[in-house]
Amino acid sequence: MTISKIEDAIEAIARGEMVIVVDDEDRENEGDIIIASDSITPQAVAFMMNHARGLICVAMEGEQLDALDLPLMVPRNTEYHKTAFTVSVDYIPGTTTGISAADRAKTIRALVDGSTRPEDFARPGHIFPLRANPKGVLGRPGHTEAAVDLCRLAGRYPSGTICEVANDDGTMARLPELMLFAKKHGLLLITIKDLIGYMEQRTHVDAMLEMAGTEEVGAPGHSASQ
């Protein structure tokens, strides 16, 4: 099992598949399963519950969370990596206790449904929204930002459902175990480091194209109306 290309992971996310994203050894040194929130299913949630075993969270943009009136869980975040948890939620219509895979999938789907209203959620609940840095992985090299960036690049709604991968004995899976996990379940594995490099290159290219366009418009013989 080798580390996959970012482009391949983007295509997998676009198809509604799960990928594994690993951060640096000097950070959390953990791997998260990531899937686009708008493609979540009860089966995908059950896979996370049974095989990944971590906390199921939904990475979202701040604007989305503000529209749903989901503030940060605490006013002063003292968590080491400053993971921006909001209040947890359960979707009320058509669910029971909120803990089943089916109920959690409905809650996740509702979070990314533009017609959902703040009063449609019970607080607290069993799904944990996360507020992503507006600059993505270029602003914070976390799984939260990686999820939003990957979904946006894939043309999906900019929100990813994530879950940490743990070993059978309850310890956190590191890169060697994560590579075995990915191979066993047929999942692509990428690193946040590579995603940062991809985003930096993309940002550089966009800036160069914008600069070239500005110079062309301002060149002699050209008018802005052309």
Rounded to the nearest 5°, which phi and psi values hold at 172?
Answer: -75, 135
Check whether 144 is labelled as a binding-site residue.
Answer: yes
Between CA 190 and CA 205 the distance in angstroms is 22
- Is 8 labeled as ligand-binding? no
Q: Is 191 annotated to bind ligand?
A: no
Long-range CB pairs of 67-70, under 8 A, 24+ apart, other chains included: 68/111, 68/116, 68/117, 68/118, 68/121, 69/118, 70/118, 70/121, 70/129
Contact 162, 57 (CB under 8 A): yes
Q: Give the pLDDT score at 24.
A: 81
In the numeric block, which tokens belong to residue 100?
């089943």
Is 27 annotated as ligand-binding? yes
Q: Is 158 annotated as a binding residue?
A: no
Q: Is 143 annotated as a binding residue?
A: yes
Per run of 10 residues, the mean pLDDT along the chain (length 226 residues) is: 94 99 83 98 99 98 98 90 95 97 99 98 98 97 98 98 97 96 98 97 78 62 43
Q: Please give the domain boundaries of the chain with CATH numbers for all domains.
A: 6-193 (3.90.870.10)
The reported pLDDT for the residue numbered 82 is: 87
66 labeled part of a ligand binding site: no
Q: What is the pLDDT at residue 130?
A: 99
202 is in an annotated binding site: no
Per-residue model confidence (pLDDT) at position 212:
72
pLDDT score of 137 = 98
Q: Is residue 34 within 8 Å of residue 162, measured between CB atoms?
A: yes
The two three-digit tokens of residue 7, written as one number: 């482009």
pTM over 0.95, yes/no: no
